């Protein structure tokens, strides 16, 4: 059947094949200005699953992830505070230190979530020369105009501007989607470059057109893609919130600068809510992965929770459903542990069925159902672990040598009817997360976490 993906630009499920030998993927990454909450990791977990699915199909992937470490304004338009400046003020450090601090946080968390590392992790501040070249190109092609506060993209020059997000430009209210200023020619026009006024506090600055300034926030993605992958790429990913402004503007900029389509496929994931409400500081529900850990849940439990649903659905997070995901993960590990300890009867072709499910627009929920309903061989479990990236097996061999020594010791103690020692060993194993179950066939171990 091959791989089918829902393409936002056509609003259809389409057969997917890369245009060249390698699947070129770009993921809009985080703005690194504050502690990430669990919602921020949803997209990266889904796109990690996308890459793993493509690889399970034998495809080669080149994936680029950007880190927005430069002037990204709080609003989607071109006004409001700069997020990094806000972070610097809040924490009493420089914007550069804010970026360093949160880049490290994100990359550490990515490791804990077992995300496959991107082939290129691109920091926006490393692409300023490309940004400037792109603005020059857009200008030479007649797509921009200058105002007192920046260089703006004239959306009326790009006839397909409204198509991607199906925007109703004539009904666009000033201030509703983007801020309107007297100097803007059309309400939808956006800054590709912002000037810094003498009175303005803005630490990150580069000289262009004889004055200090910084790039508009959509530009970094067009520039990074142009340099690292080349248009058109095969798949561009992001959250649904990126459709009306950020991705619409990336498409326009790439077309204006290079005369090319940006991406063949566009994938967008929906938002997660917590207890039915949006994630927000004022509601006190901006849980981080560390907050989950403090409540006894590993990042892998959260990943299992995410993959138990579909990337296009609005997901509602509760701690009860997270507990169910944790239970599922432990159950899968115990099934694997059992496979390591004895010959378990298995069904044929289970992984092929799982792959067929996920090839249908990344239906990880359906894959989970198949895993629940089938008996998997150890070989199938290894493939499942690779596909889901849940570290189900990765830890098992580490545990193996240690626990088998203890298991043997315990068996010897039991045979010598030294139950005090055998209980001691049981307790010791328990502190290592291993529970012993005595069965008619002898003792078997399970993960006790
Ligand atoms: P923020 O830093 O809050 O603007 O979030 C950065 C990105 O994380 C957004 O553009 C979204 O794509 C994603 N994101 C934020 N909140 C959520 C959520 N509740 N569910 C899923 N993704 C989210
Ligand atoms: Zn982007």
Ligand in nearest proximity to the CA of 238 = 1
Query: Do 135 and 250 reside in the same domain of the chain?
Result: yes
Cβ(42) to ligand 1 under 6 A?
A: yes
Say yes or no to pLDDT of 349 above 50.
yes
Residue 28 tokens read as: 């809009």
Query: Do 203 and 332 reside in the same domain of the chain?
Result: no
Half-sphere exposure in the Cβ direction for 325 (13 Å, CA):
23
**pLDDT bracket for residue 219 (50, 70, 90):** very high
Say yes or no to pLDDT of 97 above 80.
yes
Residue 224 tokens read as: 């990074």
The C-alpha atoms of residue 241 and residue 59 are separated, in whole angstroms, by: 29
Query: So what's the pLDDT on residue 444?
Result: 79
Cα of 349 vs centre of ligand 2, distance in Å, is 39
**Element holding 23 (H helix, E strand):** strand 22-27
Say yes or no to pLDDT of 77 above 70.
no
**pLDDT bracket for residue 327 (50, 70, 90):** very high
Query: Do 62 and 86 reside in the same domain of the chain?
Result: yes
Query: So what's the pLDDT on residue 78?
Result: 54
C-alpha dist (Å) from residue 98 to 65, 230, 320, 344 = 19, 30, 35, 52
Residue with tokens 């959260």: 302
280 belongs to a structural domain: no
Cβ(243) to ligand 1 under 6 A?
A: no
φ/ψ of 390, rounded to 5, equals -105, 5
**pLDDT bracket for residue 343 (50, 70, 90):** confident
Lowest-pLDDT range of 227-231, 349-353, 430-434, 437-441: 437-441
The C-alpha atoms of residue 294 and residue 292 are separated, in whole angstroms, by: 5
Query: So what's the pLDDT on residue 87?
Result: 86
Tell me what the mean pLDDT of segment 125-146 comes to.
97
375 belongs to a structural domain: yes
C-alpha dist (Å) from residue 6 to 9, 15, 232 = 9, 9, 18
Of the candidates 233, 208, 211, the one whose C-alpha atom is nearest the C-alpha of residue 222 is 233
Residue 267 tokens read as: 């994938």
Query: So what's the pLDDT on residue 334?
Result: 87
Alpha-carbon dihedral sign for residues 369, 322, 32, 81: positive
Cα of 72 vs centre of ligand 1, distance in Å, is 14
φ/ψ of 114, rounded to 5, equals 55, 40
The full 3-state SS of 142-165, as one line of letters, equals CCEEEECCEEEECHHHCCCCCCCC
276 belongs to a structural domain: no
66 belongs to a structural domain: yes
Query: Do 357 and 415 reside in the same domain of the chain?
Result: no
Cβ(279) to ligand 1 under 6 A?
A: yes
Q: If you average pLDDT over every residue of the chain, what do you get? A: 90
pLDDT in tens, 159-201: 899 999 988 877 665 444 455 567 899 989 999 999 998 888 8
Query: Do 45 and 171 reside in the same domain of the chain?
Result: yes
Query: So what's the pLDDT on residue 176?
Result: 47
Q: How many residues does the chain have?
A: 449
Query: Do 247 and 349 reside in the same domain of the chain?
Result: no
Residue 206 burial (C-beta neighbours within 10 Å; 0-12, 13-18, 19+): middle
**pLDDT bracket for residue 422 (50, 70, 90):** very high
Of 250, 269, 288, the domain-final residue? 269
pLDDT in tens, 143-157: 999 999 899 999 999
Query: Do 346 and 411 reside in the same domain of the chain?
Result: no
Residue 323 tokens read as: 């507990």
C-alpha dist (Å) from residue 11 to 163, 266, 409 = 11, 10, 61
CATH number of the domain encompassing residue 74: 3.40.50.620
Cβ(39) to ligand 1 under 6 A?
A: yes
C-alpha dist (Å) from residue 60 to 11, 291, 307, 384, 407 = 26, 36, 22, 19, 42
The C-alpha atoms of residue 162 and residue 399 are separated, in whole angstroms, by: 56
Residue 42 domain boundaries: 3-269
Query: Do 363 and 409 reside in the same domain of the chain?
Result: no
Query: So what's the pLDDT on residue 174?
Result: 46
Which residues are CB-neighbours of 297 under 8 A, at least 6 positions away? 322, 323, 326
- Dump the DSSP string for 34-95: SPPPHHHHHHHHHHHHHHHHHHHTT-EEEEEEEEB-S--BSSSSS-S-BHHHHHHHHHTS-H
Query: Do 38 and 130 reside in the same domain of the chain?
Result: yes
Q: What percent of the chain has pLDDT over 90?
A: 69
Query: So what's the pLDDT on residue 180?
Result: 53
The C-alpha atoms of residue 380 and residue 348 are separated, in whole angstroms, by: 9
279 belongs to a structural domain: no
What is the total count of domains within the chain?
3
Q: At what angle do helices 364-373 and 350-359 cross, to 10 degrees?
A: 160
Query: Do 352 and 217 reside in the same domain of the chain?
Result: no
| pTM, two decimal places | 0.91
Query: Ligand 1, closest atom to CA 240?
Result: 12
Ligand in nearest proximity to the CA of 240 = 1
Cα of 221 vs centre of ligand 2, distance in Å, is 5
Cα of 40 vs centre of ligand 1, distance in Å, is 5
Tell me what the mean pLDDT of segment 49-59 comes to.
98
Lowest-pLDDT range of 215-219, 238-242, 279-283, 419-423: 279-283
Contact 78, 134 (CB under 8 A): no
Say yes or no to pLDDT of 211 above 50.
yes
Query: Do 161 and 125 reside in the same domain of the chain?
Result: yes
Lowest-pLDDT range of 85-89, 281-285, 391-395: 391-395
φ/ψ of 142, rounded to 5, equals 85, 25
């Amino acid at each position: 059947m091959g791989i089918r993906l829902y393409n936002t630009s056509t609003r259809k499920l389409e057969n997917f094949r890369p245009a060249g030998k390698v699947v070129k993927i770009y993921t809009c990454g985080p703005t690194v200005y504050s502690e990430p909450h669990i919602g921020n990791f949803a997209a990266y977990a889904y796109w990690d699953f996308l890459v793993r699915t493509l690889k399970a199909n034998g495809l080669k992937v080149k994936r680029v992830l950007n880190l927005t470490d430069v002037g990204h304004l709080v609003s989607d338009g071109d006004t409001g505070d700069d997020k990094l400046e806000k972070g610097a003020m809040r924490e009493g450090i420089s914007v550069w230190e804010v970026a360093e601090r949160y880049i490290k946080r994100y990359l550490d968390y990515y490791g804990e979530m077992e995300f496959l590392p991107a082939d290129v992790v691109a920091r926006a501040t490393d692409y300023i020369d490309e940004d400037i070249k792109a603005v020059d190109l857009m200008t030479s092609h007649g797509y921009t105009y200058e105002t007192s506060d920046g260089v703006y993209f004239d959306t009326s020059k790009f006839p397909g501007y409204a198509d991607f997000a199906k925007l109703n430009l004539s009904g666009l209210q000033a201030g509703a989607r983007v801020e309107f200023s007297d100097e803007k020619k059309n309400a939808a026009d956006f800054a590709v470059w912002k000037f810094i006024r003498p009175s303005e506090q803005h630490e990150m600055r580069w000289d262009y057109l004889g004055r200090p300034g910084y790039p508009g926030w959509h530009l970094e993605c067009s520039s990074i893609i142009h340099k690292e992958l080349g248009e058109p790429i095969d798949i561009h990913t992001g959250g649904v919130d990126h459709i009306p402004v950020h991705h619409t503007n990336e498409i326009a900029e790439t077309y204006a600068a290079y005369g090319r389509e940006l991406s063949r496929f566009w994938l967008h994931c929906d938002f997660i809510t917590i207890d039915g409400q949006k994630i927000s500081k004022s509601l006190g529900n901006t849980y981080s992965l560390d907050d989950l850990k403090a409540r006894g849940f590993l990042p892998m439990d959260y990943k299992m929770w995410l993959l138990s649903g579909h990337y296009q659905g609005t997901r509602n997070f509760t701690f009860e459903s997270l507990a169910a995901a944790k239970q599922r993960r432990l159950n899968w590990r115990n099934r694997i542990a059992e496979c390591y300890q004895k010959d378990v009867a298995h069904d044929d072709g289970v992984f092929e069925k799982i792959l067929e499910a996920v090839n249908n627009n990344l239906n990880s929920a359906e894959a989970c159902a198949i895993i629940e309903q089938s008996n998997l061989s150890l070989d199938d479990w290894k493939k499942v672990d690779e596909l889901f990236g849940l570290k189900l097996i990765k830890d098992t061999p580490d545990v193996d040598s240690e626990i088998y020594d203890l298991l043997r010791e315990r068996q010897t103690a039991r045979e010598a009817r030294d139950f005090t020692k055998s209980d001691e060993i049981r307790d010791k194993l328990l502190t290592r997360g291993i529970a012993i179950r005595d069965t008619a066939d002898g003792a078997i171990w399970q993960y006790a976490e």
